[in-house]
Amino acid sequence: MPNDGARDIPDVSLSAASHDPYLLCIEGSCVPNAQNEIGFEGVEGTSASAPSFAGIMALVEAKTGQVGTLTGGRQGLANYVLYALAEAQQANTTLNGLCNGSGVSTLPNSACVFNDVTVGNNSVPGEVGYPDGLYAAGAGFDLASGLGSVNVSNLANAWSTVSSAFRTTNTTLELNSSTAPISVSHGASVSVAIAVVPVTGTGTPTGTASLTTGHGVSGPSVAIPIYTLNAGSLTTSTTQLSGGNYTVAAYYAGDGTFGPSYSNPVEVTVTQEGSTTAVSAVDQNSNSIPSGTVLPFGSFVFVRADVAGVSGQGVPTGMVTFADSISASYAGDASFNSSKTAQPVTFTIQPGFAGISGPTNVTITSPGMSGTSTVSFIASSNFTTTVSFTCTGLPAEAACNSAPVAGSGPNTPVNVNITITTSAPHVTMLRRNQRQYYLASIFGGGLPLVGIFLLATPRRRR
């Protein structure tokens, strides 16, 4: 990060290993409590190292000047400065051999921008030369650790010594062959022409340019691809301007000779285009439920709305409201007009009831006592049959009963009490093969009831 493309080869080295995570304090967790304890979260991987380099670049931008100037704000492709600083460090005879960050007993010199990583590898088992082959760390730049780890303070202080040496450029932008304000419908194709020339002298800037609403120009973010210059210019088109009234500028990222620059802003008005809204339904297993399906009362139905623009460009945002039909209405946003379902989805719900809670736990303190469990149910509006509940899986000597109860509609839960009864302790005598066993069973505790069996020692009888 940044990288050279192939295999995510690093330009600088930041920790991403699980055994060496970044420690974060969450909501004051690192402030000692009454027991002098602190807490923290560990974050690892590129999910931590990539934002860490973004933070480094934020410090560079804050150090190098006002946002939007040549030596401050957006820096373009950071590699041009990173490699130039590394080359300058290698050419500095005073620092020869003093920037090794992998030393056992000595730290790198405090003047180093990059601390060279010379030990370790990120090779994959099975590669040629594993483990110390192509992706092993060594002196200078290597594919394992790039230029090494970064002394952020030195990097920020030295940045302008390179960036200020880039030749200044002038970037221009035309939309629909003009710098005048334009008005188009969302999704319409807009021609784009960008040109970059040196402010002084000759030469042809290379690299990339893009459209932006940064650098003091107003409007939503512009999700536009990055374009490659051809002989200092490019001509293309885009359909990705968001709805609204704002200004757009071109940004040239710079190269190894020429510095970055912003173009003149062009005012754009992008009006809403039409949209369509469709609804569909699936069950809990993601199976489609066709319109007109007959469903038992209490069935799971998940309803989905899909909103799309007429042009097929961009993604609608905002709110969708569902109605009982089942239909959906999209409220629209800056890019898309409102729309509603052309054909609602309908279902036929069979009369019936569905349990919504319970049964609750039952505690019976001693044999012969009883307890009550409660269940709740709702019934469809035209379901008039009373509902009775029975119990299964009860242990011997236990029973349950409840009175039939009528439903009160789909919006009113009905509670039903189920009484659980148990038998008092007793002794059962069994005679078999002239042997007599005395069997006692004692029931108690909560549901499910637990039987404790005692077996008497048999004796022979005449």
* Chosen domain end from 271, 303, 330: 271
Only one residue has tokens 């590669």, namely 127
The answer on 342 and 195 residing in a single domain is no
CA dist 382 and 289 (Å) reads: 23
CA atoms within 13 A on the CB side of 79: 14
The answer on 175 and 159 residing in a single domain is no
CA dist 182 and 239 (Å) reads: 14
The answer on 18 and 154 residing in a single domain is yes
Is pLDDT at 270 greater than 90 in this prediction? yes
Under 8 Å between Cβ of 393 and 357: no
Candidates 176, 156, 203; CA nearest to 58 is 156
Q: Is residue 260 part of a domain?
A: yes
The answer on 397 and 373 residing in a single domain is yes
Read off the DSSP letter of residue 83. H
With cut-offs at 50, 70 and 90, classify the pLDDT of residue 170: very high
The answer on 198 and 104 residing in a single domain is no
Helices (H) and strands (E) counted in the chain, each on its own, are: 3, 27
The answer on 14 and 150 residing in a single domain is yes
What is the predicted pLDDT for the residue at 214?
A: 54
With cut-offs at 50, 70 and 90, classify the pLDDT of residue 69: very low
Q: Is residue 237 part of a domain?
A: yes
With cut-offs at 50, 70 and 90, classify the pLDDT of residue 221: low
CA dist 454 and 115 (Å) reads: 78
Most confident of 173-177, 297-301, 428-432: 173-177
The answer on 221 and 199 residing in a single domain is yes
The answer on 308 and 206 residing in a single domain is no
Q: Is residue 130 part of a domain?
A: yes
The answer on 249 and 201 residing in a single domain is yes
Total of domains in the chain: 4
Q: Is residue 1 part of a domain?
A: no
The whole-number average pLDDT for the span 358-374 is 87
Describe the chain by its helix, strand, coil percentages, rounded to 5. 10, 35, 55
The whole-number average pLDDT for the span 134-152 is 89
What is the predicted pLDDT for the residue at 276?
A: 94
Domain that holds residue 256: 169-271
The answer on 159 and 30 residing in a single domain is yes
How confident is the model over 222-245, as pLDDT tens digits?
A: 556 789 999 999 999 999 888 889
The whole-number average pLDDT for the span 167-193 is 95
238 CB-near residues (< 8 Å, 6+ apart): 189, 190, 192, 211, 224
Say which residue, 451 or 58, is predicted with more confidence. 58
Only one residue has tokens 């309803």, namely 303
Interhelix angle for 79-91 vs 152-163, to 10°? Answer: 100
Is pLDDT at 29 greater than 80 in this prediction? yes
CA angle 324, 328, 330 (to 5 degrees): 145
Distances (CA, A) of 197 to 75, 152, 180, 200, 259: 18, 33, 21, 9, 11
The answer on 302 and 233 residing in a single domain is no
* Chosen domain end from 131, 163, 195: 163
* Chosen domain end from 271, 293, 315: 271
Q: Is residue 207 part of a domain?
A: yes
Q: Is residue 32 part of a domain?
A: yes
Q: What is the pTM of this model?
A: 0.63
The answer on 180 and 83 residing in a single domain is no
Is pLDDT at 381 greater than 90 in this prediction? no
The whole-number average pLDDT for the span 329-344 is 92
With cut-offs at 50, 70 and 90, classify the pLDDT of residue 215: low
